[in-house]
Structure 1
Amino acid sequence: MNPITGIIITLNEQDNIQDAIASLRPVCDEIIVVDSGSQDNTVALAEAAGARVIHQSYLGDGPQKAFAVPQASHDWIFALDADERLDADAVEVVRQLELGDPRKAYRFKRRNFAGRHWIRAAGFYPDPVTRLYNRTTSGYLPKKAHSSVQAPEVIDVDAHLSHFTYRDLSHWMTRIDQLSSRDAWAMKERGVKPSTLRPTLHAITAILRKLILKGGLFQGQDGMTVAMTTAFHAYMKYAKLNELYENEQADRDA
């Protein structure tokens, strides 16, 4: 197997970073953490776990994940979020890969958790994500929110990452608040204009997609939870986009 560099981006991830690094250790020869100004012990814990830490103010999702790639020692990159872990089957699969074709990237199934509860409803599983790729042919798109790896060929592997997305339902709501603010900023950065209709339209679209197209209507409480939180996230990011423009106009008028 060709050597792999693991890359993790962080901001105040002291509760996650050591486990994330530990899960990469069996398959990576080098681990780089890109930190965007953590105020907790993230940096110290990452360095204690043997990672090389690079400091970079947040550039947006795709640019931040791509920032450390030129500084990696190896062409093969495993990009892991701080709240993700390689399961044992993923470690085994990666170890068996020859990684001889740089045009291929590898996509894993992701298990999303709220606390100890694995959420499978309404499209939350298998939630495929591309994480292993060769930097000579592939990389993250320069999107400031919800970026993904673009590669000439993507191979689906029957192996898992565990995604400890939310500690509990209260944390789920807190994360929606944080992520919707980030999404609104990213949309404004790329020139998306405000709209009084867009928050409602996107919320309705989201809930119909999750309840009907993804089957959440027939998947009990988990299906309804995913549908409602997705709709709320959609509504809030567009409402916050409108608010950003309103605040900007108010500052100009002051």
Structure 2
Amino acid sequence: MKITANIITLNEEKNIEEVIKSVQTVCDEVLVVDSLSSDKTCQIAESLGAKVIKQEYLGDGPQKAFGAPFAKNEWILSIDADERLDLNAIEEIKKLDLENTTYDAFSFARKTYVGKNFIKLWYPDRVARLYNKRRCGYSTAKGHAKVQTQNICDLEADMLHYSYDDYAHMIRTTEKFIKRGAVLAYEDGKRANVFDPFIHGVGALFKALILKGGAFHGINGWNVAVISAFSSYMKYALMLEMQRNEK
């Protein structure tokens, strides 16, 4: 099919082969936008027929946007190195009439795993990843890793997301995202008050355990709920700290 896969990478030698083979089932071109990896990511990608473009990391959204002009096709499938197309996604994509569709983009339901554990409370976690670059695309603003259109068709198809090796890995990664989220919010002019850490932390816990049913998903539901609550709490706590350091 006339679709270009766009994969952003940084030291993804353990993932790059599987994700490229996954997208090659529906894409006739694979682009890898690499953030100056120090491992064998680029060599492996090129050996599998991918075109590698090196670019210092700009942020998730801008990095995805950077690769679009290099694609030979109008339709781009944006996918991360730790993601794979499920069999139902491959079949759904093959059925699409992309030349005549009126939609700007198509979304997938994302199934996220911690190790071998499927995290039910995060499902379906809809993400628009197949899009027409002449109609829409990713914002070049930092922190905006979403395709900028409302004209999206939701496919009955899954994207598999092997996000964390285990809960220890999840905690380490969450710490990085807490800091990044706090800095981006602060730079966007957002400010926190003394009640925000508590309000957002408790709110995240309630949403995960009650509204999304995590309390009934066993230990995985509780683990993810507590980590999510901690993440929300600390984001606003760090924003408060930055505000106090202003003075």
Q: TM-score, normalised by structure 2?
A: 0.90
State the secondary structure of the residue aligned to 1:93: helix
Q: Which moved more, 1:144-153 or 1:86-95?
A: 144-153
Query: Contact (CA 8 Å) 2:138, 2:144: kept in 1 or not?
Result: no
Write the letter of the residue equivalent to 1:23: S
Deviation at residue 244 of structure 1 after TM alignment: 4.8
The residue aligned with 1:56 is 55
The residue aligned with 1:135 is 133
The residue aligned with 2:165 is 167
CA 109–242 in structure 1, closer or farther in 2 if over 3 Å, else same: same
Alignment of 1:95-134 (within 5 A): 95-99=94-98, 100-101=100-101, 103-120=103-120, 122=121, 124-134=122-132
The residue aligned with 1:44 is 43
Asked if 1:13 is matched to 2:2, the reply is: no
Residues 60-106 of structure 1 show CA distances to partners (whole Å, capped at 9, x for unaligned) of: 22111111111211110100011100111111111121112253311
The residue aligned with 2:68 is 69
> In 1, distance between residues paired with 2:162 and 2:6?
18
What is the RMSD of the two structures over their aligned residues, measured on CA atoms? 2.1
Write the letter of the residue equivalent to 2:21: A
CA 102–58 in structure 1, closer or farther in 2 if over 3 Å, else same: farther
Asked if 1:192 is matched to 2:190, the reply is: yes
Residues 21-41 of structure 1 show CA distances to partners (whole Å, capped at 9, x for unaligned) of: 111111111111112232322
Q: Which moved more, 1:20-29 or 1:177-186?
A: 177-186
Q: Which moved more, 1:221-230 or 1:19-28?
A: 221-230
State the secondary structure of the residue aligned to 1:26: coil
Residues 108-131 of structure 1 show CA distances to partners (whole Å, capped at 9, x for unaligned) of: 1111111111111x3x11222111
State the secondary structure of the residue aligned to 1:21: helix
State the secondary structure of the residue aligned to 1:137: coil
Asked if 1:151 is matched to 2:161, the reply is: no
Query: Contact (CA 8 Å) 1:102, 1:137: kept in 2 or not?
Result: no
> In 1, distance between residues paired with 2:236 and 2:141?
17
Asked if 1:222 is matched to 2:245, the reply is: no
The residue aligned with 1:201 is 199
> In 1, distance between residues paired with 2:106 and 2:80?
16
Q: TM-score, normalised by structure 1?
A: 0.88
> In 2, distance between residues paired with 1:84 and 1:172?
16
Write the letter of the residue equivalent to 1:212: I
> In 2, distance between residues paired with 1:43 and 1:239?
38
State the secondary structure of the residue aligned to 2:97: coil
State the secondary structure of the residue aligned to 1:144: coil
Query: Contact (CA 8 Å) 1:35, 1:53: kept in 2 or not?
Result: yes
Write the letter of the residue equivalent to 1:97: L
Asked if 1:231 is matched to 2:241, the reply is: no
Deviation at residue 239 of structure 1 after TM alignment: 3.0
The residue aligned with 2:83 is 84
Write the letter of the residue equivalent to 1:117: N
> In 1, distance between residues paired with 2:34 and 2:240?
29
> In 1, distance between residues paired with 2:44 and 2:54?
14
Q: How many residues align?
A: 246
> In 2, distance between residues paired with 1:135 and 1:102?
14
Query: Contact (CA 8 Å) 2:82, 2:163: kept in 1 or not?
Result: yes
Query: Contact (CA 8 Å) 1:114, 1:168: kept in 2 or not?
Result: yes
Q: Which moved more, 1:105-114 or 1:151-160?
A: 151-160
The residue aligned with 2:23 is 24
